[in-house]
Amino acid sequence: MKTISKIVQLLFLCALFVPAPSKVSAQSLTMVPVGIAGLNNNTIHSYISRDMGLFRKYGIDARLVVFQAGSLLAQASMAGEVKISMVAGPVTIASRSAGSDSIIIGALINTLPYKMIVAKGITRSDQLKGKKIGISRFGSSTDTAVRLFLAKFALNADKDVVLVQAGEQANRFAALTGGTIDATIVGVPLDITAQKQGFPVLADLSQQQIPYPQAIVETTDRLIREEPQIVKNYLRGLIAGIHYGITHPEPTKAILDKYVKIKNPEFLSATYQDYVQITDPKAYPNIEGIRVALEEVAKRSPGAKGKKPEEFVNLRFLQELEKEGFFRELYGK
């Protein structure tokens, strides 16, 4: 825990030298350490808000710290090193089930942001029966995504297919092209590369109507109790950033390029379109998606058994913003 503390402190000191545009004086800002589980096109939302000065517009000096794993971020959150986190829903569910006061206050992505790419010759979901499907590792989000997708087509992941732990998506793609596996899931823009090499996209999982808390906003009961205005203002800045990203393609593409390093114009355009497609504009959690994730977590975490999805969500601030007309100001009627 001390190691995590030292790393976070160092990153915060580095962040002091990163300028951000704002008309709000530094004296009026509240510094909020924010943890992000991995920097990629699915976690870019906070960077849009920060770089466009939208957190500062609402009095928040967001210090963004990237963690390479949700489990490490969960430890930092429990230690109080970060106040707000951008993480996958199951991380918060598992943490709260184990006794922490972590709570979901918003959601950025309520679906599965993957494409199922398959070997040449596979054109239907039922043809996956008996095939080898690559995931990163058992218990991962890719494992869950594949299981949920197969279940939609009446296929049992434990009986009808062979799940292969093949590592990160670049390794999974290499396994597919090498013939070691018959299918896997990847994110944008690797799906474009796959198609160019003749490997079809069998399905866009985000369009399969499978609710899932892929990316949520987490804080703690304690911060809500002691500093509710900080939580509310953070959500204001974050949602204003989502609106900005959806309505300003070119500046948002520039931010994606800056942080995710997407130089290819075709890939950058596809990544932006994916951002618009999968991002919830009002950042509301999907309760059915929470239920799905809770059922998965309960399989390996006894503390999650018997819980209700509502126990992991606090909609207070989103509901207040709704009543105050915040969303109407952004999006109109």
Residue pair 115/204 in contact (Cβ under 8 Å)? The answer is yes
Q: Where are the domains of the chain?
A: 2-111+212-331, 115-207
Please report how many Cα atoms fall inside a 13 Å half-sphere around the Cα of residue 286, on the Cβ side.
20
Q: At 71, is the pLDDT very low, low, confident or very high (cuts 50, 70, 90)?
A: confident
Whether the per-residue pLDDT at 308 is higher than 90: the answer is yes
Q: Which CATH superfamily is domain 115-207 in?
A: Periplasmic binding protein-like II (3.40.190.10)
Same fold, 2-111+212-331 and 115-207: yes
The CATH code of the domain at 2-111+212-331 is: 3.40.190.10
What's the pLDDT score for residue 7?
A: 47
Rounded CA-CA distance 238/231 in Å is 11
Res 19 pLDDT > 90: no
- Residue 221 neighbours by CB under 8 Å, 6+ apart: 101, 103, 314
Task: With a cut of 60, say whether residue 24 has pLDDT above it.
Answer: no
Kindly report the pTM of this predicted structure.
0.87
Give 101-127 pLDDT, tens digit per residue. Answer: 999 999 999 999 999 999 999 999 999
Q: How far apart are CA 265 and CA 270, in angstroms?
A: 9
Position 25 scores a pLDDT of 52
Residues 6 or more apart whose CB falls under 8 angstroms from that of 208 comprise 112, 149, 152
pLDDT single digits (tens) 29-43? 999 999 998 888 889
Residue 8 has pLDDT above 70, yes or no: no
Are 208 and 149 within 8 A, CB to CB?
yes
CB 125 within 8 A of CB 202: yes
